[in-house]
Amino acid sequence: MTSPPSASTPDTTLLVLDAEPPPRLGRLTGRARIEHADPSTLAERLPHADVLLVWDFASHAVREAWPGGGPRPRWVHTASAGVDHLMCPELAASDTVVTNARGVFDQPIAEYVAALVLAMAKDLPRTWELQRAREWRHRESQRVSGTRACIVGSGPIGRTIARTLKALEITTALVGRTPRTGIHGPADLDRLMARADWVIAAAPLTDQTYGMFDARRFGMMQPSARFINVGRGQLVVEDALAEALAKRWIAGAALDVFEHEPLTPDSALWQLPGLIVSPHMSGDTIGWRDELGRQFVELYERWEAGRSLVNVVDKKLGYVPGR
């Protein structure tokens, strides 16, 4: 929680960086001047905005436009859990408050991870291949109960993943930046990862986590281990993962996020043996845009009333700290 630099009035300019109009903003009609920008107009509009809503969270336009001259919005909200796409040194050093969509994605992403874990344990991808080939081939599959997961990222998403996997009787270990009750620090990571059946990346992208899943770490994992990334593509050195799969250092992987998104048709990742590719959709369940819109309106109403904001990002850390 933090005190807002100032409350809004009907004269407040709310600038929305969007590709398509966000839902639920109608509630703010007459209470703010709502303007829209796209990546090509953002730099020009930014000095005239009091509040910036980053709805197009796939865009790097904020990071690019922010360092320019002139006044800057006092508050930036991003309709995403990660803030890596907008942060730059000038924004980090400024007085501007940054908030994120903490909470909206926790349960959907946790369910998605459970879906991938179970699909891999039960060999569902092979089942689909065999179905397509009209081939009846019985196989033995794996029990997930009693297996071990190491979840990297101890924010609300990582903790919800841990709770969901525990409900499936999987033994879970959470690793975060700061050790605290129930959460291991970075010093324990290699040891926990080396004995995990499931290594799950759900960390924010920061200087500390960039490229953390590299050849050394894939080489440490068990040959039977599976790796899942629902965090950010840049947590993973993709070439190292490709090598780990090709050389069977690990048994399989699933990526929902990539260094470059969307993945182009010529990417080698589409056909890596043992890799499941999905298009950055783990958190996006039916109604998610509505929920993101509603969450922003709630924050806006706090701001308007001069109350303190929640979901405030620590701009140095790159995420919302604390439980």
By CB under 8 A, name the binding residues for a second copy. Answer: 107-108, 111-112, 114-115, 118-119, 121-122, 124-125, 127-128, 130-131, 134-145, 164, 167-169, 261-263, 265-267, 270-271, 276-281, 284-288
Look up tokens 């930036």; give the residue: 76
Smallest separation, CB 215 to a second copy (Å) = 24
CB atoms within 10 A of CB 179: 14
CB neighbour list of residue 223: distance below 8 Å, 6 or more residues apart: 248, 249, 250, 251
Cβ closest to a second copy, residue 139 vs residue 323: 139
Smallest separation, CB 116 to a second copy (Å) = 8
Smallest separation, CB 226 to a second copy (Å) = 14
Cβ closest to a second copy, residue 180 vs residue 248: 248
Residue 201 token pair: 């990346």
Cβ closest to a second copy, residue 260 vs residue 316: 260
Integer Cα distance of 273 and 269 in angstroms: 9
Q: State the amino acid at position 239 in one-letter form.
A: D
Smallest separation, CB 241 to a second copy (Å) = 16
Rg value, the chain, Cα: 21
Integer Cα distance of 42 and 48 in angstroms: 10
**Pairing of β 97-99 and β 51-54:** unpaired
Smallest separation, CB 252 to a second copy (Å) = 13
Cβ closest to a second copy, residue 288 vs residue 294: 288
Cβ closest to a second copy, residue 276 vs residue 317: 276
